[in-house]
Structures are given as structure tokens and as C-alpha cells.
């Protein structure tokens, strides 16, 4: 077996299951899971209709590059959303089966372990970044995001020696778990560093459409404003899972630097991960429609407002500008908090320390929990009331 598998840590939800093992929560309170970022709203009806209408496509092998109509729809969406002059659907777009597999496989295609490379990533983080780096033969380098840094990574604190060894920088904006947004000028500064030190930026922008009315800037947008119309050393990852409440469709895309995508396409032809044709047709419909996205966005902001009002008397609540999470400071140990609130209120939250690694002598997730407001409003209100009651009694 690949010895690098031994470097992988248990996934946060495995740790959470162990934490809850043996606890019998109150039977009179229905369980509310706020730990997983899985939208509970139904996807727009037209997605299912598109899948059904194209089920005959199951009789054909899909191509790795995907349907031209899908790549054209994605390119057009990118141009509209990020005010880009041009995106070449032939050379600068690749459909993928959800961004999780793409964020992982991208590092496998990009990294040369002989370079003794570093892969930089935010901390806390989506654990796929770490696993991708380790299995590619790279060393993860964690960029702590704390209250002192506005709950975003402190890029200015990275030593030059680290930038010189960096081969891949994972960004997440809007940021999972804090919901904070990396500003356009910061993105430009990072792109300039990528040109100077010869590394690639992988921009995980899966939450970009769930915002407070101020659309977050994107990596390709920043590159274009710098005059890099070829998006050199910049690649973005987008998904329909959050935007369209369609995690089961497993549909996303990678876009950016054509030279990088050409090599990544070669990797994917061997990887065997072409998107089924019914999913491609549904994806075309999704990228061409904004009305359902606006409804999703409004629903999440309504949940944020209701939850913040309920929790205000019991906790210091900072409503983030994007995504669908609260990064909530809790009293005492975050894992113990998660264990006890499950035992008393039958509510599951995710300990922040499970999403982070100790770096620079601290675990930046310690003392926080991630709360995913993904349920309908009434359920979120009930959950917020239980959390508030628990905090008041703690």
C-alpha cells in the first residue's frame, strides 16, 4: 500500500462520530444536524427535469472534456459573474464531478515530489487540501486564520523562504468555515507572488454565490485586472452543490490558465472521471439560470438574521458576509461543548479544532464551533433557540 496513506488524519466527521459515541440524546427533541455543509433545500425542479429528459445519455460514454454546450455555458457565466473579457471554453474550462475530487486530483497532477515542495493552505481548512498535498508527496504549510487576522489567513506573515518552496497555494474565498471574503487587492498581491515565486493558486470559490448582496471578488477577476488575460498560474474551482442546492449532482468545473488545464486534462483522461451526460445537461440549465440562486441566497440570509437575533443574548455573534456558516466562539473546550450540547439538546455542531492543525503553537480552531444553517428557517430557529438555551445554562 502507498505509505503516504499513513499520513492522513481521520476526517472531521469521523472524529465527531467518535465524540458522540455512546451518548443518548433526549428523545423528545428531534435531532438537528448543523455539522455538515449539505444544503437541505430542494434543488430547482428544472434540474431533475433535465436529468430525466436526457437519461438516454446513459447509453453513451461521456468525454473527459465534456459537452461543448456545457463549457460554453460555464465560460459565459464566468464572464458575466466576474466581468471577464473572455474565457475560452475550449482551453480554459474543464467540467468535473464536484470540486472535491478536482481539488484533490489537481495536486496529484501538479506536484513534483522531487522538488521537496510546500503546499500552502488556510488553517482551519477543508481537509481535502491537506490530504491532496500529503498524497502528492508535498508538505502542508498552514496559514492560521484567527480573530487577530480577521478570520482569514495572514499572508503577510509568510516568510520568503516559504514562498520560494511553495508550488501550490489553496485559497478558499468565501472561506469555509468563517464565511469571510478575501479582498480583491489581497488576491492581486497573491497573484503577483505566484508570478514571482513560480507557484500555482487553486481558488476554491464554491461559496461565491451565497453572499450578503455584495458579490465576492474572484481569482480570475483579480488576474484580469492585473492584465493577465491568460490567468497565468491561476485556477478556480466552482460547484453547483452550494449555489444550486445540488450536492448529489456532483457537478462543478475548473477554469483558468490554459497551459495548466492542458496538463490537468491529460491527467483526467487517465483518472476516468467524466461527468455523465444527464448531469451535464442539468448543469447547463443551472449555470444559465440565476433566479434560483437569488432565492437560495435570500433564504440563507434570512436564516442568518433569525439565528443571530436569537443567539445575541447568549453569545458574541459575528454574521459573516458569505457562505452559510457561523464560526461561533464557545466557552471552554470546543469538543466538550459539542459533546454536551448533543447530549442535552440533540443538536450536532462541528468542533473547530477538528478542522484545524496546530501551527505556530496554536490550533486556530480551538474554542470555536462551525454551525451550518442549511435547514429550513423553522428548523434553524429551533436549533438557535436550543443553542441559546444551552449557552445560557453553561
The domain that holds 232 is classified in CATH as 3.40.640.10
Give me the pLDDT at residue 273, please: 87
Same domain as 280, residue 297: no
For residue 30, count CB atoms less than 10 angstroms from its CB and return exposed for 0-12, middle for 13-18, buried for 19 or more: exposed
CA–CA gap between residue 371 and residue 36 (Å, rounded): 8
Please give the torsion angle defined by the CA atoms of residues 124, 378, 306 and 299, in that order, rounded to the nearest 10 degrees. Answer: 70
- Total domains, the chain: 2
pTM greater than the 0.85 cutoff: yes
For residues 285 and 297, membership in a common domain is answered with no
Same domain, 149 and 22: no
Q: How many CB atoms lie within 10 A of CB 170?
A: 27
Domain-ending residue, one of 273, 289, 305: 289
d(CA 368, CA 334): 6
381: Cβ–Cβ under 8 A, 6 or more apart, which residues?
306, 307, 310
268 Cβ contact list (under 8 Å, min separation 6) = 64, 94, 96, 105, 109
What span, in angstroms and rounded, lies between the C-alpha atoms of 279 and 252? 10
Are residues 53 and 28 located together in one domain of the fold? Answer: no
CATH number for position 26:
3.90.1150.10
- Tell me, yes or no, whether 150 and 268 share the same domain: yes
Last residue of a domain, one of 238, 256, 289: 289
DSSP 320: -
Same domain for 268 and 216: yes
Q: Is there a single domain that holds both residue 186 and residue 127?
A: yes
Q: Are residues 276 and 326 in the same domain?
A: no
Query: Do residues 13 and 54 both lie within one domain?
Result: no
The pLDDT of residue 177 is 98
- Please identify, among 234, 264, 289, the residue that sits at the C-terminal boundary of a domain: 289
Torsions phi, psi for 193 (to 5 deg): -65, -40
64: containing domain: 47-289
If asked whether residues 114 and 64 sit together in one domain, one would say yes
Helix ranges, the chain (H): 12-20, 45-53, 68-82, 99-110, 127-135, 160-165, 184-197, 219-225, 240-243, 258-271, 277-287, 291-311, 334-345, 377-393
Same domain, 273 and 311: no
Cis peptide leading into 307, omega within 30 of 0?
no
Q: What is the DSSP letter of 93?
A: E
Q: Are 121 and 30 contained in the same domain?
A: no
CA distance 83 to 385: 41
Residue found by looking up cell 464536484 in the block? 98
CA distance linking residue 28 with residue 270, whole number of Å: 52
pLDDT of residue 139: 98
pLDDT in tens, the chain (394 residues): 999 999 999 999 999 999 999 999 999 999 999 999 999 999 999 999 999 999 999 999 999 999 999 999 999 999 999 999 999 999 999 999 999 999 999 999 999 999 899 999 999 999 999 999 999 999 999 999 999 999 999 999 999 999 999 999 999 999 999 999 999 999 999 999 999 999 999 999 999 999 999 999 999 999 999 999 999 999 999 999 999 999 999 999 999 999 999 999 999 999 888 999 999 999 999 999 999 999 999 999 999 999 999 999 899 999 999 999 999 999 999 999 999 999 999 999 999 999 999 999 999 999 999 999 999 999 999 999 999 999 998 8
Amino acid at each position: 500500500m502507498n505509505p503516504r496513506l499513513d499520513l492522513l488524519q481521520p476526517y472531521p466527521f469521523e472524529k465527531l462520530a467518535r465524540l458522540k459515541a455512546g451518548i443518548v440524546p433526549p428523545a423528545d427533541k428531534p435531532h438537528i444536524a448543523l455539522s455538515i455543509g449539505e444544503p437541505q433545500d430542494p434543488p430547482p425542479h428544472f434540474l431533475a427535469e433535465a436529468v430525466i429528459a436526457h437519461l438516454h445519455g446513459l447509453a453513451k460514454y461521456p468525454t473527459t472534456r465534456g459537452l461543448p454546450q456545457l463549457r460554453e455555458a460555464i465560460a459565459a457565466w464566468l464572464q458575466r459573474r466576474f466581468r471577464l473579457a473572455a474565457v475560452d471554453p475550449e482551453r480554459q474550462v474543464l467540467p468535473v464531478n464536484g470540486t472535491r475530487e478536482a481539488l484533490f486530483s489537481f495536486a496529484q497532477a501538479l506536484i513534483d515530489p522531487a522538488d521537496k515542495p510546500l503546499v500552502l493552505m488556510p488553517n482551519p481548512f477543508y481537509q481535502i487540501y491537506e490530504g491532496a498535498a500529503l498524497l502528492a508527496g508535498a508538505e502542508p504549510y498552514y496559514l492560521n486564520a484567527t480573530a487577530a487576522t480577521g478570520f482569514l489567513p495572514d499572508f503577510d506573515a509568510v516568510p520568503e523562504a516559504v514562498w520560494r518552496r511553495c508550488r501550490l497555494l489553496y485559497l478558499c474565498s468565501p472561506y469555509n468555515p468563517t464565511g469571510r471574503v478575501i479582498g480583491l487587492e489581497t488576491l492581486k498581491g497573491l497573484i503577483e507572488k505566484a508570478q514571482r515565486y513560480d507557484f500555482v493558486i487553486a481558488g476554491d470559490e464554491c461559496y461565491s454565490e451565497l453572499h450578503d448582496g455584495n458579490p465576492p471578488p474572484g481569482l480570475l477577476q483579480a488576474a484580469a485586472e492585473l492584465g493577465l488575460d491568460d490567468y497565468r498560474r491561476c485556477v478556480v474551482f466552482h460547484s453547483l452543490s452550494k449555489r444550486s442546492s445540488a450536492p448529489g449532482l456532483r457537478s462543478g468545473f475548473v477554469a483558468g490558465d490554459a497551459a495548466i488545464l492542458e496538463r490537468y486534462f491529460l491527467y483526467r483522461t487517465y483518472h476516468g472521471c467524466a461527468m455523465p451526460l444527464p448531469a451535464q445537461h442539468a448543469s447547463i440549465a443551472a449555470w444559465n439560470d440565476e433566479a434560483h440562486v437569488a432565492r437560495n441566497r435570500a433564504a440563507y440570509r434570512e436564516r442568518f438574521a433569525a439565528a443571530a437575533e436569537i443567539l445575541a443574548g447568549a453569545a458574541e455573534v459575528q454574521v459573516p458576509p458569505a457562505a452559510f456558516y457561523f464560526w461561533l466562539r464557545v466557552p471552554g473546550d470546543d469538543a466538550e461543548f459539542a459533546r454536551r450540547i448533543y447530549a442535552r439538546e440533540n443538536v450536532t455542531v462541528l468542533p473547530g479544532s477538528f478542522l484545524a492543525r496546530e501551527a505556530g503553537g496554536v490550533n486556530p480552531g480551538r474554542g470555536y464551533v462551525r454551525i451550518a444553517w442549511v435547514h429550513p428557517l423553522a428548523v434553524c430557529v429551533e436549533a438557535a433557540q436550543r443553542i441559546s438555551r444551552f449557552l445560557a445554562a453553561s
